[in-house]
Amino acid sequence: MNKAIFLDRDGVLNHDPGDYTMSLEEFHILPGVLDALKRLHDAGYLLIIITNQAGISKGLYTHDTVREIHAYFTRVCKEAGIDITAIYYSPHHEAFGKSLTRKPGSLMIERGLARYNIDAKKSWMIGDKQRDLDAAAKADVRGILIDTNAPLKEVVDSLV
């Protein structure tokens, strides 16, 4: 079985401005993220992004915008020798209906576990909100809570 690092996006991989990252122009990879992801990748972890994107259901941006941002991020990672195994996002918001994909729901993590034959006990979720860790716990994945927009170096040092 594989091991994985599940990562929240906004505030962990890219700068979270406090509301929504609504365009590629607003998407800024945090300093040190590529180095941290490279170390995790080289240590044998699959890298899977798990992100709520409620701005879609609120009409602030579209699925196409999210796909454009993810394509850009995946390309930058690839150029740095990092494979992003998968990106799962939930376009839902509780004001517009319930969804098991939206964190703290665990369905996005469970999909990754099943699809990529991942051992939950050898895996971690890194997030900047309690809901990230709650989603991970529901899927029996351990969680690490970091401050929003904090460097990943110390977390990675503890995992590799």
pLDDT in tens, 81-101: 999 999 999 998 776 667 878
Identify the weakest region by mean pLDDT among 12-16, 37-41, 93-97, 98-102.
Answer: 93-97
Respond yes or no: is residue 157 known to be catalytic: no
At residue 94, the pLDDT reads 74
**What is the SS3 assignment for 138?**
helix
**What is the SS3 assignment for 145?**
strand
Q: What b/e string do you get for 48-65 counting C-beta neighbours within 10 Å, with b at 16 or more?
A: bbbbbbbbbbeeebeeeb
Predicted confidence (pLDDT) at residue 59 exceeds the cutoff of 80: yes
Catalytic residue among 10, 16, 128, 132: 10
Average pLDDT, the chain: 95
Mean pLDDT over 41-63 rounds to: 96
Respond yes or no: is residue 10 known to be catalytic: yes
Q: Which architecture characterizes domain 3-159 according to CATH?
A: 3-Layer(aba) Sandwich (3.40)
At residue 46, the pLDDT reads 98
* Count of beta carbons in the 10 Å neighbourhood of residue 23: 11
pLDDT band for 155, please (50, 70, 90 cuts). very high
Contact by Cβ (8 Å): 4, 118:
yes
Contact by Cβ (8 Å): 45, 58:
no
At residue 78, the pLDDT reads 98
Locate the domains of the chain by residue range.
Answer: 3-159
At residue 105, the pLDDT reads 95
Catalytic residue among 8, 16, 128, 132: 8
pLDDT band for 45, please (50, 70, 90 cuts). very high
Mean pLDDT over 116-138 rounds to: 98
